[in-house]
A and B are shown apart, each in its own frame.
Chain A
């Protein structure tokens, strides 16, 4: 049944998603008639990159990371400092920030690789706070609590100027690339190995998987995209300060993943959208909106323990869309 459908309409879901991202959403935002809506959408895009990358490490691989916001901060500061100090354009600072963050992530992660479960979570919390304290106090280098102002926006001279719309499209393109890369890593034999590592690392090791290598690779990939998200954040907002990258932010990212559904890429995006859009929608009730966000978080954990779009339904969707092995006439495996 679904095999027939996916043969006649190949890869329907990605086309729909891309259409929504690049056509429908900009039109709707444009119709709302304010730059503010674009800025909210840009924030959602940055957090979607963050949640998808955090989901890769926490949801798919099962390493509860409580320091993700700090790596996001490393990326943001790398981009901000290289853009304001050296005058590099955004298409250099984005990959540079990603690489620096991945490198720092690997260096910091190496000593924690033998820790499991809550001990790993606590170690990432400590590392995250160490990064935050460093950003806050290394005044000569990061300007400390004053933050870094006047970070150039996303623009290519002669082609387009920095604006809310250009920011939106830049974030949308990077988010689409991120989702594609993480999707290919997650829904593959490699992703199956990661899920095996999550379910039982000792068993996975017995089966011949090099779990330390897998963990380091996952950490590197996840930190790379967190760094890119940070770079986008500093270019789109133009001002960053250490308080954007505190423990609270890590917790917010974790909450987005859990509300959306641990281990599910669409879930991570849904979670980011919900928890960021909700406070905006609830702006009329002003002071109470954070309480509502907390309640939504609580109720969704209570009544939807697998998340709004859980891993099982996400995998089901992916298999229907991409799973050659699920087609009767296919001769290739699902990879």
Chain B
């Protein structure tokens, strides 16, 4: 390609930088997709308000910045706390009232699933409109000194400092999640409920508490993704959660609905292919990639690329 042509190195600089951009955006999708996957795992329902958790995380960070200008580390912690609170409240309001029946048939029933799908949707409308009324519907700029766009030069390559932050926070979050799921009691109970809710109840696991914990963990990851993207892209607005939410949802489905590793891998594939595609096609058409992946996956690999084999789809 002409753009990298003058430099003597062997790979195309522009291509490599797009790859890095893609991985960064893929990690953001991955953080959100994990929330979807965890909640789908324990409840077998899709949480349509997840995009709003992401938006609330970003706004909580912005409020903290404008109120008392804390260091970056504290901003991330505040976003995490906001996410945890939102997740807790969301579960209480939009999901728990529909969990009155505990037998297996109603846990898996279509009516119950549609009810929670729509109640989470109603909550997402309410949250988005409430933020719009309180904060205004236009784009909110992030104060200059918090913007993570300082260029960092490594050899011939230029990165934004935000990309490093996204890498760092994502890797730490993913590692923490693995530790939590595999080494702690609450992680064990989350995996048990995901595996078999009724069975988990019979062996004495408090399913309600486990579900609350799942919502809190998933929403914390979603909220931190929101503030990272806010700092990296420089503006936040009430409808910002929609597109990443859909992309993360696609990643979850591609990964097989209840495989965390699959969701992360597919989120990265998605982010990288979108970034690389902008080399060849216009930005607007790049959105098509996620949806084409989704349909192709569903048609040819109905259990997802990483999903466990199931009886039928």
A29 within 8 A of B: no
With a 10 A CB-CB cut-off, give which of A111, A127, A251, A298 has the most chain B CB atoms.
Answer: A298
The one of B98, B113, B253, B285 that contacts A133, using a Cβ cutoff of 8 Å:
B285
State A258–B291 Cα separation when bound (angstroms): 26
List residues 271-313 of chain B with CB under 8 A from any CB of chain A. 282, 284-285, 287-288, 291-292, 294-295, 298-299, 302, 312-313
Please indicate the chain A residues that have their CB under 8 angstroms from the CB of B249 in the complex.
122
Q: Inside 8 A of B133's CB, which chain A residues have their CB?
A: 287-288, 291
B122 touches A298 (CB 8 A): yes
Chain B neighbourhood of A294, CB < 8 A: 122-123, 125-126, 129
Pair A123/B115 contact, Cβ less than 8 Å: no
Q: Given that A62-B110, A130-B292 are contacting pairs, would A298 and B298 also be in contact in the complex, using a CB cutoff of 8 Å?
A: no
Known: A115-B302, A133-B291, A290-B129. A122 touches B123 (CB 8 A): no
**B284 & A133 in contact (Cβ 8 Å cutoff):** yes
Question: A247 to chain B: which residues have CB within 8 Å?
Answer: 242, 246
* Interface membership of B177, Cβ < 8 A: no
The answer to whether the Cβ of A277 comes within 8 Å of any Cβ in the partner chain is no
**Interface size range on B against A:** 35 or more
Q: Count A-B pairs with CB separation below 8 Å.
A: 108
Q: How far is the CB of A127 from chain B (nearest CB, A)?
A: 6
Most chain A CB within a 10 A radius of its CB, from B110, B119, B242, B295: B295
User: Out of A64, A115, A251, A287, which one reaches B114, CB within 8 Å?
Assistant: A64
Separation of A64 and B285 alpha carbons in the complex (Å): 27
In the complex, per-residue mask of B10-46: 1 if CB is within 8 Å of any chain A CB, else 0: 0000000000000000000000000000000000001
B77 at interface (Cβ–Cβ under 8 A)? no
Contact B118 A116 (CB under 8 A): no
A binding-site residues for B, Cβ under 8 Å: 62, 64, 111-112, 114-119, 122-123, 125-127, 129-130, 133-134, 136-137, 247, 251, 254-255, 258, 262, 287-288, 290-291, 293-295, 297-298, 301-302, 305
Known: A137-B284, A255-B121, A298-B94. A122 touches B129 (CB 8 A): no
**Min CB gap B264→A, angstroms:** 19
Contact of A297 among B110, B125, B282, B298 (CB under 8 A): B125
A131 closest partner in B (C-beta): B291
Within the complex, the shortest CB–CB distance from B5 to chain A, in Å, comes to 30
Contact B122 A123 (CB under 8 A): no
Residues in A whose Cβ lies below 8 Å from that of B287: 129, 133
CA distance A122 to B249 in the complex (A): 9
Are B125 and A123 interface neighbours, CB within 8 A?
no
Tell whether A305 pairs with B302 under 8 Å between CB atoms, given A118-B46, A136-B284: no
A251 pairs with B121, CB closer than 8 A: yes
How far does the alpha carbon of A255 sit from the alpha carbon of B118 in the complex, in Å?
7
Q: Which residues does chain A contribute within 8 Å of B246, judged by CB atoms? A: 125, 129, 247
Residues of B at under 8 Å CB distance from A? 46, 94, 97-98, 110-111, 113-115, 118-119, 121-123, 125-126, 129-130, 132-133, 242, 246, 249-250, 253, 257, 282, 284-285, 287-288, 291-292, 294-295, 298-299, 302, 312-313
Taking a contact as CB atoms under 8 Å apart, the answer to whether B298 and A122 are in contact is yes
Contacts of A119 in B (CB 8 A): 253, 298, 302, 313
- Given A112-B295, A114-B302, 17 new contacts (CB under 8 A): A116-B312, A118-B113, A122-B298, A123-B299, A126-B291, A126-B298, A127-B291, A130-B291, A258-B118, A290-B129, A291-B125, A294-B123, A294-B125, A298-B94, A298-B119, A301-B98, A301-B118
A132 to chain B, nearest CB (A): 9
A116 near B110: Cβ-Cβ < 8 Å? no
Which of B94, B122, B125, B295 has the most chain A CB atoms inside 10 A of its CB?
A: B122
B65 CB to closest chain A CB, in angstroms? 26
B115 in contact with A305 (CB, 8 Å) = yes
CA distance A119 to B40 in the complex (A): 13
Most buried by A among B123, B125, B285, B312: B125
Taking a contact as CB atoms under 8 Å apart, the answer to whether B284 and A126 are in contact is no
- Can you identify 25 A-B contacts, CB atoms within 8 angstroms? A111-B299, A112-B298, A114-B302, A114-B313, A118-B46, A118-B257, A126-B250, A126-B291, A126-B295, A126-B298, A129-B246, A133-B285, A133-B287, A133-B291, A137-B284, A137-B285, A255-B118, A258-B114, A287-B129, A288-B129, A291-B126, A294-B122, A294-B123, A297-B121, A302-B119
Check if B291 sits within 8 Å of A297, measured CB to CB. no
Judge whether B46 and A298 touch: CB under 8 Å. Answer: no
